């Protein structure tokens, strides 16, 4: 009785397997090896049904001895041949996956390059358009300040000149942030150090950078992406973490650029990270996308009250 139950269960499972195999034939683009495996599953199901017949009728399986032999031969041939050729399915799946990754990388790179192009254009428009206008206003106010004025008028002129100087300084900072000339001219390490020095000058928090890059240069896209990622991490810390100290290790190890970013801020729940990233929260959505565009690796570790650590590894050349 137990054998009969097990045989029925085996038949049900086998029929289900045949149904799934037939359904996957179309998805495998009618691959020859998968068709052979499907035939093998089908023959096995028929053979199990024949083996069940003596238990439910007067039929004797010995009467189909030759059928059992031939079905066994067919099963062996189809399975053996199918397994031998199934590597084509895996090669096809690998090609599809490689194509998907390449398309995704090209799409992300196109977005990043378009974004950087627009940043440069906007920075140039500010520098070449608004910059000369402010400089002209400054010259006019400087000339006006040399004339004789009463005390009240003199104070107004001086205040105006100070505001114009601040506007010119802010314009330069905005232009540099949009398209940092230090990154273009001197490389990643110098550009990050320059950005950090500006933050440290505010005394809001202290950032320490350790790097062995020196003046070494890398592919433009790699430098731009990593510069934006580090700036985004620093901005996240300033906006959300209430940290007093940030430590950044930027090094080249063999053929990889590695970044270890630590802050002593309030941290956050790791189980909320994906939701925040999907909703554009905390800037992690952009960070993950940028690192993925370089085929890099990123790992975020944070605990409430114990700060945040981000580890990034990116190849120095596109493979």
pLDDT computed for residue 62 by the predictor: 62
Q: Which helix (H) or strand (E) holds 313?
A: strand 308-315
**Global confidence as pTM:** 0.60
Quote the CA–CA distance of 116 and 180 in Å, as a whole number. 11
Strand bridging mode 206-211 / 297-302: unpaired
Nearest to 206 by CA among 255, 262, 254, 253: 262
Quote the CA–CA distance of 227 and 119 in Å, as a whole number. 14
Domain ranges for the chain: 2-85, 180-319
Domain 180-319 belongs in CATH node 3.40.50.970:
no
pLDDT grade for 209, boundaries at 50, 70 and 90: very high
Q: Which residue has the higher pLDDT, 230 or 283?
A: 230
Q: Which residue has the higher pLDDT, 225 or 136?
A: 225
312: phi then psi, degrees, rounded to nearest 5: -130, 140
Residue written as token pair 């002209």: 136
Quote the CA–CA distance of 315 and 306 in Å, as a whole number. 30
pLDDT digits over 103-162, tens only? 877 777 777 777 777 877 777 777 677 778 878 887 888 887 777 777 778 888 888 888
pLDDT computed for residue 319 by the predictor: 43
Percent of the chain with pLDDT over 70: 92
Quote the CA–CA distance of 228 and 192 in Å, as a whole number. 9
- C-alpha gyration radius of the chain: 34
pLDDT at 315 over 80: yes
Q: Specify whether the CB–CB gap between 160 and 198 falls below 8 A.
A: no
pLDDT at 273 over 70: no
SS3 106: helix
Q: Which helix (H) or strand (E) holds 295?
A: none
| Residue-wise DSSP of 237-268 | IIIII--SEEEEEEEEETTEEEEEEEE-S---
Q: Which residue has the higher pLDDT, 51 or 247?
A: 247
pLDDT computed for residue 257 by the predictor: 94
pLDDT computed for residue 280 by the predictor: 47
Quote the CA–CA distance of 265 and 247 in Å, as a whole number. 12
pLDDT computed for residue 318 by the predictor: 45
């Amino acid at each position: 009785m137990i054998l009969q139950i097990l045989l029925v269960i085996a038949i049900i499972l086998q029929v289900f397997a045949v149904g799934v195999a037939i359904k996957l034939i179309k998805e495998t683009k009618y691959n020859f090896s998968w068709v052979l495996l499907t035939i093998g599953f089908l023959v096995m199901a028929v053979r199990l049904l024949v083996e069940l017949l003596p238990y439910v009728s007067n039929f004797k399986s010995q009467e189909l001895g030759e059928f059992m032999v031939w079905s066994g031969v067919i099963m062996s041939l189809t399975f053996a041949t199918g397994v031998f050729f199934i590597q084509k399915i895996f090669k096809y799946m690998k090609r599809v996956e490689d194509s998907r990754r390449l398309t995704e990388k090209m799409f992300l790179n196109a977005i990043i390059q378009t974004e950087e192009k627009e940043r440069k254009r906007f920075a140039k428009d500010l520098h070449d358009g608004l910059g000369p206008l402010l400089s002209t206003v400054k010259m006019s106010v400087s000339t006006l300040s040399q004339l004789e004025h009463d005390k009240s008028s003199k104070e107004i002129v001086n205040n105006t000149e100070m505001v114009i100087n601040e506007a010119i300084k802010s314009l330069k900072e905005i232009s540099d942030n949009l398209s940092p000339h230090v990154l273009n001219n001197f490389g990643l390490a110098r550009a990050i150090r320059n950005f950090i020095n500006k933050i440290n000058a505010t005394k809001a928090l202290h950032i320490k950078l350790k790097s062995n890059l020196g003046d070494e240069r890398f592919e433009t896209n790699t430098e731009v992406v990593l510069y934006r990622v580090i700036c985004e991490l620093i901005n996240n810390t300033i906006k959300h973490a209430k940290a007093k100290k940030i430590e950044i290790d930027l090094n080249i190890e063999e053929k990889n650029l590695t970044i270890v970013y630590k802050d002593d801020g309030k941290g956050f729940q790791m189980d909320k990270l994906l939701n925040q990233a999907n909703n554009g929260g905390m800037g992690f959505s952009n960070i993950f996308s940028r690192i993925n565009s370089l085929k890099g690796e990123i790992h975020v570790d944070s605990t409430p009250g114990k700060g945040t650590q981000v580890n990034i590894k990116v190849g120095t050349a596109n493979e």
